[in-house]
Amino acid sequence: MTGLLRNVAALIAAIAILQLAGGLLGVRIPLAFAEQSRTALGLVAACYSAGFMMGAMIATVLFARVGHIRVYAACAAMFAAATLALHFSEDVWAWGLVRMSAGVCVALMFAAIESWLSSSIGARSRGEVMSVYMVLTKGALALGPYLAFDYAPAAPEPFMIAAMLAALSMVPVCFTAAEQPTPPKAQPLALVEQFATAPAAVIASFGAGLVNGGVLALAPLYAAQHYGAGAAAEFYSVAFLGSLLLQWPAGRLSDRVDRRLVIAALAALAALASFGLAMWSGRLAEWSAVLLFFLWGAGALSFYGIAVAHMADRAEPGKLAQSAAGLLFVWAAGSIVGPLILGPLVDMFDVAGMFWFAGGAAAAVGAAMFWRRTTREPATEKEEFAPQLGTSVAAGEIAYGEEDRAQQGPKAGEAPHSAR
């Protein structure tokens, strides 16, 4: 295991450095909109998610044409340039276009690294590698906001630091001795087929994007408004820390009970925390508001991975990559819709409207899980849970081993998909 990690350490290091920039921008971009409407911020956040979706669509074509290293290096350079460009304009539409291009680049960078990781590790090592990958990437997201903690919201230095980190993330990739993988083959999304296969997974994935995309975009403004600019980094970080601590135990529990019940419990935790923040908005002591947001992150940022595992339980052998692609696009669609709804809500009803919406959406996800459980029996054979991030299609292959599963066929005693 140590030797394997040494072989992929450069790839994981690149994404960890990139996520430091992502965590920093996740706080600094909302703070830069403190004097503008929340609708404008929601539009910019939705543009980033739309770019992410477009990047995921063209990844396999670019890998086949120029290879993983060139795609990653070019996208890192463009992401750094796009980040610096944010300082030279205050126009909302210009920011939207810049963030859309950044979303395309980030999607391609994640796809390059994760498909490379997928081809470099064997079935026995996937769980350990994915665990290290998840801890470092979510830890970097939590740490990133503190890299520019002392700068004013409108200062240019945070954007310069984020661009520097994006450029530095190229170094491990360009100097790695690991051989580039064979370009992956594109598969159609077949969203209708996937909804028929595992409706609960599709609903939960959309719900995760709907809730998380808007709240993470707007929560730093809530924290800054009520507790000062320094609290924005604190809120953003504790959400990912909560997910980091709870996702693995919740996933292991889902191996033993119906995964839909675990998704419902996590969604309920997110809903309760959201309702608490909505009801007592601005009247909570800072420590209690941070605690509630920690609980929100532990629930809301954890159930997407279990939705992917639920799809893996029911997907036909050889179609896991296709299923992961479909859920990623559903999640991205929710991440576009969420900010577009939450921005106007916050403008009309202040920040409490954000948490009322987030709580209602999370409660709806939980109710949908119970509804699906009454209409369809749980899977009799399960894939072992592996943590899953909403990053690229290839993350599903890292977690569950698409190629191995396709070659091995159904497990012993496992019924064909059509008989489940």
Tens digit of each residue's pLDDT (9 = 90 or more) over 196-236:
878 888 999 999 999 998 899 888 888 888 888 788 889 99
Q: Report how far residue 338's alpha carbon sits from residue 41's, in angstroms, rounded to the nearest whole number.
A: 12
Q: Looking at per-residue confidence, does 388 or 298 come out higher?
A: 298
Residue indicated by tokens 């291009």: 101
- Residue 321 pLDDT level (bands cut at 50, 70, 90): low
Element (H, E) at 187: none
- Residue 276 pLDDT level (bands cut at 50, 70, 90): very high
Q: What is the pTM of this model?
A: 0.85
Q: Report how far residue 340's alpha carbon sits from residue 47's, in angstroms, rounded to the nearest whole number.
A: 10
Residue 19 near residue 106, CB atoms below 8 Å: no
Q: Is the pLDDT score of 340 beyond 70?
A: yes
What is the SS3 assignment for 253? Answer: helix
Topology of domain 2-419, per CATH? Growth Hormone; Chain: A; (1.20.1250)
Q: Report how far residue 274's alpha carbon sits from residue 268's, in angstroms, rounded to the nearest whole number.
A: 10
Q: Kindly state the tokens that stand for 399.
A: 């977690």
Report the interhelical angle of 2-32 vs 38-66 (nearest 10°). Answer: 150
- Residue 362 pLDDT level (bands cut at 50, 70, 90): very high
What is the reported pLDDT for 121?
Answer: 72
What is the reported pLDDT for 415?
Answer: 36
The residue extents of the domains of the chain are 2-419
